[in-house]
């Protein structure tokens, strides 16, 4: 069931991106796909977040110095408890970002994140958030979480649920650009923007 969700969502997202280069329409197509599963099984919250997590990589640019070797993988890292289970693994299976194969790494501490491109920070790490942000300011790593006030405290992308229990996200463009990442205008267009 999850594989069907994964491939239908990813196919719709990537197809529309190639045709019209508009993330806005991609996300709209994502939400139009999900109700079709009502008679089968609704995607779980972290299944949707796993698809978003992978697709954020398609709409951001990292400095060239990040990939010093052609065979270096694109790393999606998880700090703290892993809320995705097998879902994220299924989403990234056989995928590449700019020619780099995508892998998942589970971290025990923030110091292990220096080679990550995306870092999902679980709510279990909230007591250590100040230390985490102090470390991340020195590295071009996209920080993502679903903990409350994540972007207000220094994070880059924060998942939140709407009143209708839909998964959406908030972006802090200043935090992204401070570490040398570049967010696509298409991504910013459909996000809720946090300004300091």
Q: Which residue carries 């946090």 as its tokens?
A: 194
For the chain, the domain total comes to: 1
- 30 within domain boundaries: no
**What one-character DSSP code corresponds to residue 157?**
E
Give the global pTM: 0.80
DSSP labels, 164-185: T--EEEEE-HHHHHHTT-EE-H
- 19 within domain boundaries: no
Give pLDDT tens digits for 134-165: 999 999 999 999 999 999 999 999 999 999 98
- 22 within domain boundaries: no
* Sequence-distant (≥ 6) Cβ neighbours of residue 96 within 8 angstroms: 74, 102
Give pLDDT tens digits for 37-72: 444 455 799 999 999 999 999 999 999 889 888 789
- 182 within domain boundaries: yes
- CATH number for the domain harbouring residue 170: 3.40.50.2300
Strand order in the sheet with 157-161: 96-97, 100-107, 74-79, 118-121, 142-145, 157-161, 167-171, 192-193
Average pLDDT score over residue span 5-9? 56
Domain extent, residue 99, equals: 44-193
Give pLDDT tens digits for 84-128: 999 999 999 999 999 999 999 999 999 999 999 999 999 999 999
- 15 within domain boundaries: no
- 37 within domain boundaries: no
Q: Which residue carries 């709409």 as its tokens?
A: 59
- 35 within domain boundaries: no
- 159 within domain boundaries: yes
Residue 5 pLDDT more than 90?
no
> Distance (Å, rounded) from C-alpha 140 to C-alpha 124?
23
In this structure, are strands 182-183 and 60-61 parallel, antiparallel, or unpaired? antiparallel
């Amino acid at each position: 069931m999850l594989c069907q969700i994964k491939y239908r969502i990813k196919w719709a997202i990537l197809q529309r991106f190639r045709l019209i280069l508009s993330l806005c329409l991609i996300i709209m197509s994502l939400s139009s796909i999900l109700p079709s599963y009502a008679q089968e099984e609704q995607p779980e919250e972290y299944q949707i977040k796993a698809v978003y997590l992978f697709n954020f990589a398609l709409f951001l640019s990292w400095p060239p110095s990040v990939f010093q070797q052609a065979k270096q993988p694109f790393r999606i890292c998880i700090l703290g408890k892993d809320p995705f289970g097998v879902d994220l693994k299924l989403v990234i299976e056989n995928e590449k970002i700019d020619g780099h194969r995508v892998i998942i790494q589970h971290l025990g501490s923030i110091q292990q994140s220096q080679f990550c491109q995306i870092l999902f920070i679980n709510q279990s790490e909230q007591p250590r958030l100040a230390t985490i942000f102090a470390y991340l300011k020195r590295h071009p790593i996209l920080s993502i979480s679903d903990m409350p006030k994540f972007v207000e405290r220094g994070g880059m992308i924060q998942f939140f649920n709407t009143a209708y229990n839909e998964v959406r996200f908030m972006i802090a463009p200043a935090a992204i650009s401070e570490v040398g990442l570049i967010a696509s205008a298409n991504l910013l267009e459909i996000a809720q923007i946090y300004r300091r």
